[in-house]
Amino acid sequence: MVSENGKAVVPRHVAIVMDGNGRWAKKRFLPRFFGHKQGVDALVRVVQACIDREIEYLTVFAFSSENWKRPSDEVSGLMGLVLAAVSRYLARMGDMGVRIRIVGDRDAVSDKLRNAWNEAEAATAHNSKLTLNVAFNYGGRWDIVQAAKAAIKAGVPAEELSEARLGEFMAMSYAPDPDLFIRTGGEVRISNFMLWQVAYTEFVFSDCLWPEFGEAQLDAAIEAFRERDRRFGGVKEAAPALAGA
């Protein structure tokens, strides 16, 4: 959505690193798993809030290529939680008009989870209110490498390889680059999320722990985004001509 002066009123594409689930649970003397469980509920709330604000794309970092390093019970807990979330929320997401797309390396996940992803994508493929990209077993560097491999396999000659051409092979080539990147949980880093796509994205870092993130925090991030002066490497207005030049 764009205002009269051409500035975006709401971002078209929001990307979120949903951080702080573990600390949310720890503060309550609960196992980390409970934080992730609450994190799923926060995600459902934020999906609805994005639809209400006419945001077109929401990309969330649900499991990174590096998250395999976590204790095995946390990894299997997260896998189980995602499976349960698909069966619990798929119909609701469909009713909300959400199109689900999974981005990441599917080779390493179980057949059960891969089938659930395929089912979620197929069941929501016709929806167009909001595209929810779930980055799972995803890493920004992985994406760049898989795009390069795909370009080579497609026979693209080196001299034809440009940013635009390689971009066609990136996992989210169907979506515009994110306008707004939000990271909750107080850490100030990208953690290998969407490295290619965030070249000109506006960043907002929030101390809020992800399970507590909701409409108010989303609106605060959008407000901060609105105040930014996006120049995409250019200048705001042409420099005045030099006198006598």
Binding residue ranges = 19-24, 32, 36, 64-66, 68, 70, 183, 189-191, 202
Q: Choose, by CB under 6 A, the member of 19, 143, 177, 202 that binds ligand FPP.
A: 19
Residue number, nearest CB to ligand FPP: 22
Task: Give the residue numbers annotated as catalytic, written as ranges.
Answer: 19, 67
Lay out the site mask for ligand FPP across 83-102 (x = CB under 6 A, - = otherwise): --x-----------------
Contacts of 21 (CB under 8 A, 6+ apart): 32, 35, 36, 38, 39, 209, 210, 211
Contact assessment for residue 92 and residue 129, using Cβ atoms and an 8 Å cutoff? no
**Residues 137-155, buried b or exposed e (16+ Cβ, 10 A)?**
bbbbebbbebbeeebeeee
Residues 119, 202: Cα–Cα separation, whole Å = 33
Using CB under 6 A, which residues numbered 170 to 189 contact ligand FPP? Answer: 185
Tell whether residue 62 is a contact of ligand FPP (CB under 6 A): yes
Residues 166, 201: Cα–Cα separation, whole Å = 19
Residue 210 C-beta: closest distance to ligand FPP, Å: 6
Q: Choose, by CB under 6 A, the member of 10, 15, 16, 40 that binds ligand FPP.
A: 40
Tell whether residue 39 is a contact of ligand FPP (CB under 6 A): yes
Q: Which stretch binds ligand FPP (CB under 6 A): 34-42, 150-158, 199-207, 229-237?
A: 34-42
Tell whether residue 104 is a contact of ligand FPP (CB under 6 A): no
DSSP sequence for 108-129 = TS-HHHHHHHHHHHHHHTT--S
Q: Choose, by CB under 6 A, the member of 15, 50, 58, 82 that binds ligand FPP.
A: 82
Residue length, the chain? 245
Residues 144, 141: Cα–Cα separation, whole Å = 5
Q: Which residues are annotated as a binding site for substrate?
A: 20-24, 32, 36, 64-66, 68, 70, 183, 189-191
Q: Which residues bind ligand FPP (CB under 6 A)?
A: 18-23, 36, 39-40, 43, 62, 67, 82, 85, 134, 185
